[in-house]
Amino acid sequence: MAIDTDKNGYTMLFSIAMVVVVGSLLAFLASSLSERIKENERFEKQQNILYAMGVNENTPDSGVNFIPTDVVEEKFTERIKKQYVLVGAEKNTAAPANVEEDDQAFLIDVRKQLAALKKGEEARLPIFVGEKEGEEVYVLPMYGKGLWDAIWGFVSVDKNMIIQGVYFDHKQETAGLGANIKMRFFMDDFIGESLLDGNSYRGVEVSKTNNDPLNEDKEDNAVDAIAGATITGNGVSNMIKETLRAYKPYLETIRTN
């Protein structure tokens, strides 16, 4: 007997069958690819950490060039000498630093930990101690809010609190405007800036009135803003300040001035 494909019942059964088939296929793909996805996420985080400490494949005229994924794990192990966790971090930055070694610190979800910190709850914040040109650098993760959604990144400093490099990224900032925080011309401006103003932790402001387009003044705690991206720039400034508040107990233990 021929099936009447014009009936509503047939349409419903066909739709249900397609949902089941497609859903099963997507579930199978998600399950089979989950390990690969986790591996790629790990490689990406390692690339970002290394980039922030100046370990990359940039050339003078290039854009952002990361260490390739096929060697990034080896390079990460070579350059990151220690991974720590700032344990029991809380809003009271006068509290002494309680640091534990943890070779999986780079897998910590910083967003969740900083959210706990804002609630006054205990947090575990990762710290990466790397080596660059024979000197130790300290890489701190950051997380904040841009114009439309989340922004995040890493900042590396030496013992004098001078920035050695940064990496910024975003979820959905405006293309050609706020999205440019992950462009090299913006990130490179932070190199050499101090997080200190005298003896105080000030951070670096993304300023519309900086009037230093070549970023020659490295003692003003400021870089030029991106035109048309004021709110995203403010988000970057606030993100750096929040990072300093959270990590101050640890930074006080490594400062040399």
Residue 171 lies in a domain: yes
Residue 203 lies in a domain: yes
Q: Spell out a b/e string for 46-70, using b for 16 or more CB atoms within 10 Å of the CB, else e.
A: bbbbbbbbbbbeeeeeeeeebbeee
Q: Is the pLDDT of residue 60 over 60?
A: yes
Residue 180 lies in a domain: yes
CB of 157 within 8 A of CB of 163? yes
Residue 179 lies in a domain: yes
Q: Is the pLDDT of residue 5 over 60?
A: no
Residue 46 lies in a domain: no
Q: What is the pLDDT of residues 14-29, one digit of tens each?
A: 677 777 777 667 666 5
Strand pairing of 123-132 and 200-201?
A: unpaired
- What's the mean pLDDT in 1-5? 55
Q: What percentage of the chain reaches a pLDDT higher than 70? A: 88
pLDDT, residue 36, reads: 76
Residue 42 lies in a domain: no
pTM of the full structure? 0.84
CA distance 200 to 197: 5
**In Å, how far are 90, 114, 138, 192 from 134, measured between CA atoms?**
33, 32, 13, 18
- What's the mean pLDDT in 191-217? 90
Residue 51 lies in a domain: no
If you search the block for the tokens 């003896």, which residue do you land on? 199
Q: How confident is the model at residue 32 (pLDDT cuts 50, 70, 90)?
A: low
The chain-wide mean pLDDT, for the chain, equals 88
**In Å, how far are 59, 201, 206, 226, 235 from 242, measured between CA atoms?**
32, 11, 14, 21, 10
Indicate the angle between helix axes 230-254 and 110-118, nearest 10 degrees.
90
pLDDT, residue 8, reads: 62
**In Å, how far are 20, 88, 89, 151, 219 from 120, measured between CA atoms?**
45, 10, 9, 22, 33
Instruction: Provide the domain count of the chain.
Output: 1
Strand pairing of 123-132 and 80-89?
A: antiparallel
> In the numeric block, which tokens belong to residue 115?
């959210």
pLDDT, residue 212, reads: 81
pLDDT, residue 90, reads: 58
Residue 86 lies in a domain: yes
Alpha helices by DSSP H, 57-99: 69-79
pLDDT, residue 29, reads: 56
CA distance 80 to 105: 11
Q: Is the pLDDT of residue 53 over 60?
A: yes
- What's the mean pLDDT in 200-219? 88
Q: Is the pLDDT of residue 130 over 60?
A: yes
Q: What is the pLDDT of residues 62-102, one digit of tens each?
A: 999 999 999 999 999 999 999 999 987 655 555 667 899 99
Full residue range of the structural domain in which residue 121 is found: 81-254
